[in-house]
Amino acid sequence: MLHPDAHAITRYLDGDATEIELIEISSHLADCASCLENVQTASYLKRNFDLLWRSWTPERHGRISEAVRIADALSSQPLSPVSEWIKTLGFDELPGLAATFILDSTKRLAGAAARSFDQMFDCRPVPVQAGVGSPDTAATLQKHLNLSSLELSRQNADAAEKALDSAAEIDAFSVQSAGIEISEGDRFTARLVVDSRKRRVSVVYFPDKSKKFPGYVLLLPADPSVTPSIAAFSPVESASYYLADFKELPDGLFTLYMGPATGFPGSGETDH
Is 84 inside a domain boundary? no
Same domain for 97 and 44? no
* H or E element at residue 202: strand 200-205
Confidence of residue 72 (pLDDT cuts 50, 70, 90): low
Same domain for 137 and 21? no
pLDDT at position 233 over 60:
yes
Confidence of residue 62 (pLDDT cuts 50, 70, 90): low
Same domain for 166 and 48? no
Is 86 inside a domain boundary? no
Confidence of residue 271 (pLDDT cuts 50, 70, 90): very low
Percent pLDDT > 70 in the chain is 72
pLDDT 10s digits, 107-123: 999 999 987 765 667 88
Confidence of residue 253 (pLDDT cuts 50, 70, 90): very high
Is 272 inside a domain boundary? no
Confidence of residue 76 (pLDDT cuts 50, 70, 90): low
Our count of domains for the chain comes to 2
Q: How far is CA 136 from CA 26, 43, 131, 144, in A?
A: 72, 61, 11, 13
Same domain for 132 and 28? no
Same domain for 247 and 118? yes
Q: What is the pLDDT of residue 44?
A: 72
Same domain for 111 and 51? no
Same domain for 34 and 167? no
Same domain for 32 and 100? no
Is 214 inside a domain boundary? yes
Same domain for 195 and 118? yes
pLDDT at position 92 over 50:
no
* Mean pLDDT on 199-223: 83
Same domain for 245 and 173? yes
Is 111 inside a domain boundary? yes
Angle CA 203–187–141, to nearest 5: 60
Same domain for 125 and 240? yes
Q: What is the pLDDT of residue 85?
A: 47
pLDDT at position 173 over 50:
yes
Query: Domain range holding 253?
Result: 91-263
Alpha carbon dihedral 249, 243, 119, 92, in 10-degree steps, equals 80
67 or 22, which is more confident: 22
pLDDT at position 192 over 50:
yes
Burial 168-201 (b: 16+ CB within 10 A, else e): bebbeebbbbbbbebebeeeebbbbbbbbeebbb
Is 41 inside a domain boundary? yes
pLDDT at position 53 over 70:
no
271 or 221, which is more confident: 221
Q: What is the pLDDT of residue 50?
A: 66
Is 62 inside a domain boundary? no
Is 131 inside a domain boundary? yes
Q: What is the pLDDT of residue 43?
A: 78
Residues in the chain: 272
Same domain for 129 and 24? no
